Amino acid sequence: MNKLLLFVAITVVLLNLGFLDHVLADIPNVENVIPWLSGSDTMLNVTVYHDQETSFHLVDKVTVNINGDVRVFNLDVQPLDPVTSTFNVTLNLGSVADSPQVTVHVNCNQHGPSPLYSLTIPELPTPALLLIVILAMSLIAFLQKRALNNQK
């Protein structure tokens, strides 16, 4: 009995001094981030792993850092996929210029933040955009000319 008591006392002291790490069972993780455009707004579809989602134990926020511009999105309890223990949230970042470096992490109200998920939001290059506009205008002109020829 004394050996067990001594072992528990030493373990508690080592934990408090930081020599041993606590094991956290349900740290959330950002599984995937997919950027897309809705009009001129950049949207992110974020897939989050979290084994439990209850009103007392949940992912309560998503933090997005866009080249130093930190944005926090507060969350309520999310419905989990029963097979993968994941959920998806869609975030509207508004207008985003250039191709910024972005990091995303989520926070569990019981176990703290997830590791960072990094990505670069792609931007359509100006030459490609110009080519698309020229092709679209050419197609419109071709269709109008064809419609005029068909009316004759």
Q: Where are the beta strands (DSSP E) in the chain?
A: 29-38, 41-49, 59-66, 69-74, 86-94, 101-108, 112-113, 117-120
Q: Name the residue ranges covered by the structural domains of the chain.
A: 25-141
Task: Please check the confidence at residue 92 and state whether its pLDDT lies above 90.
Answer: yes
pLDDT of the residue at 1: 62
* pTM of the shown model: 0.65
pLDDT in tens, 3-47: 776 676 676 665 665 554 555 457 899 999 999 888 888 999 999
Query: How does DSSP assign 39-62, residue by residue?
Result: TTEEEEEEEEE-S---SSS-EEEE
Average pLDDT score over the chain = 83
Query: What topology is assigned to 25-141 in CATH?
Result: Immunoglobulin-like (2.60.40)
